[in-house]
């Protein structure tokens, strides 16, 4: 049991690679991810990391070549594999969109009638076209979809758009959103108990790292007459820490606050006479 390892598949190169690697690093997992590496063993956690094409990951997880994997939800929706979605990861947000050459003169979805659309997502695109009553021909290709109109292979494409730079550099214009997507952690069905224990440990760390990303640590000094209101503003995890300052009539308050609330709360705190407000990042947050 001691040398039991969990095998995780990450995207080798592409939109999800860097964030997937960073997530594992935030979980305290140490490993080498040198350029061109296909496999790496973590030094301080029972995890073996495979670097693969993202499109192949659901199949590898279904076939138990890998136990878990990080991929975009778009690939799952396309492939209908027998794998479980364990957690959404809050990065890799992108959309599957239809794009046309700038010269197309596109006005509405009806302009796609009778046209040829190249994609690696024939199922999702097919369902979308049926829902919209469009009769177009789908041409399935496995990669480099963005060059299809330029070489006369198709009139339009349906592909993932993240920053939009791939479309831009190929002279394409996004015209319809088919699906919104983000990175998810998937696992194979019927994971054995020993590996489930490792996955649970990893999930615990992922959740702590994600919670930390969404929250900030806040410290401030406040006059005692406004203490009650400030405590209400900063409920924290259980309640804020309040300590008297050496200066009479003043207290120091420490708490945790949602990142999205920081600026509005700081404005109110200043109105209540707060001074020396510090807002700090949190590495891990365990509730």
**What residues line the site for ligand PRP (CB under 6 A)?**
14-15, 54-55, 143, 159-166
| Binding at 276: pick from ligand PRP, Zn ion, none (beta carbon under 5-8 Å per type) | none
- Burial readout 75-99 (b: 16 or more C-beta within 10 A, e: otherwise): bbebbebebeebbebebbebbbbbb
- Burial readout 105-130 (b: 16 or more C-beta within 10 A, e: otherwise): ebeebebbeeebbbbbbbebbbebbe
Cβ nearer to ligand PRP, comparing 99 with 208: 99
Cβ nearer to Zn ion, comparing 67 with 159: 159
Sheet of 156-161, strand order: 137-140, 116-119, 156-161, 94-101, 172-181
Give Cα 27 distance to the centre of its chain.
15
**Strand, coil or helix: 228:** helix
**Smallest separation, CB 32 to Zn ion (Å):** 24
Query: Which residue, judged by CB position, is nearest to ligand PRP in the bound state?
Result: 14
**Smallest separation, CB 55 to Zn ion (Å):** 5
**Smallest separation, CB 168 to ligand PRP (Å):** 8
| Binding at 155: pick from Zn ion, ligand PRP, none (beta carbon under 5-8 Å per type) | none
Cβ nearer to ligand PRP, comparing 166 with 215: 166
Which 8-state DSSP code applies to residue 264? H
| Binding at 188: pick from Zn ion, ligand PRP, none (beta carbon under 5-8 Å per type) | none
**Smallest separation, CB 143 to Zn ion (Å):** 8
**Smallest separation, CB 14 to Zn ion (Å):** 6
**Smallest separation, CB 237 to Zn ion (Å):** 39
Sheet of 6-11, strand order: 39-41, 47-52, 6-11, 68-72, 183-188, 83-88
CA distance 171 to 177: 18
Query: Which residue, judged by CB position, is nearest to Zn ion in the bound state?
Result: 54
Cross-strand bridge partners of residue 116:
137
Cβ nearer to ligand PRP, comparing 143 with 150: 143
| Binding at 164: pick from Zn ion, ligand PRP, none (beta carbon under 5-8 Å per type) | ligand PRP
Binding residues for Zn ion (CB under 5 A): 54-55
Residues contacting 279, CB < 8 A, separation 6+: 216, 217, 218, 257, 262, 266
* Alpha helices in 51-190, H assignment, sequence order: 57-62, 73-79, 122-131, 165-169
Cβ nearer to Zn ion, comparing 45 with 121: 121
| Binding at 161: pick from Zn ion, ligand PRP, none (beta carbon under 5-8 Å per type) | ligand PRP
Cβ nearer to ligand PRP, comparing 162 with 284: 162
Crossing angle of the two packed helices 17-26 and 193-214, in degrees rounded to 10: 100
Cβ nearer to Zn ion, comparing 54 with 155: 54
């Amino acid at each position: 049991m001691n040398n039991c390892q969990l095998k995780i598949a990450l995207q080798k190169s592409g939109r999800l690679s860097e964030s997937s690697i960073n997530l594992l690093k935030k979980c305290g997992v140490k490993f080498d991810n040198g350029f061109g590496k296909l496999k790496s063993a973590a030094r301080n956690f029972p995890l073996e990391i495979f670097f693969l094409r993202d499109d192949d990951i659901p199949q590898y997880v279904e076939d138990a070549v890998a136990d878990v994997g990080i991929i975009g939800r778009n690939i799952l929706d396309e492939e209908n594999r027998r794998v479980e979605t364990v957690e959404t990861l809050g990065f890799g947000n992108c959309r599957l969109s239809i794009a046309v050459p700038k010269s197309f003169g596109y006005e509405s979805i009806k302009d796609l009638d009778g046209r040829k659309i190249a994609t690696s997502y024939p199922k999702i695109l097919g369902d979308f076209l049926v829902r919209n009553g469009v009769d177009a021909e789908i041409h399935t290709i496995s990669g480099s979809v963005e060059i299809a109109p330029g070489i006369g292979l198709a009139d339009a494409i349906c592909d993932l758009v993240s920053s939009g730079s791939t479309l831009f550099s190929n002279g394409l214009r996004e015209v319809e959103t088919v699906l919104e997507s983000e990175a998810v952690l998937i696992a194979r069905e019927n994971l054995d108990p020993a590996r489930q224990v490792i996955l649970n440990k990893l999930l615990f760390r992922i959740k702590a790292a994600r919670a930390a990303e969404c929250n900030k640590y806040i410290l401030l000094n406040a006059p005692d007459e406004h203490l009650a209101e400030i405590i209400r503003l900063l409920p924290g995890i259980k309640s804020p820490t309040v300590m008297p300052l050496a200066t009479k009539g003043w207290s120091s308050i420490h708490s945790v606050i949602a990142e999205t609330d920081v600026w509005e709360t700081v404005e109110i705190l200043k109105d209540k006479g707060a001074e020396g407000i510090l807002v700090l990042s949190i590495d891990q947050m365990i509730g």
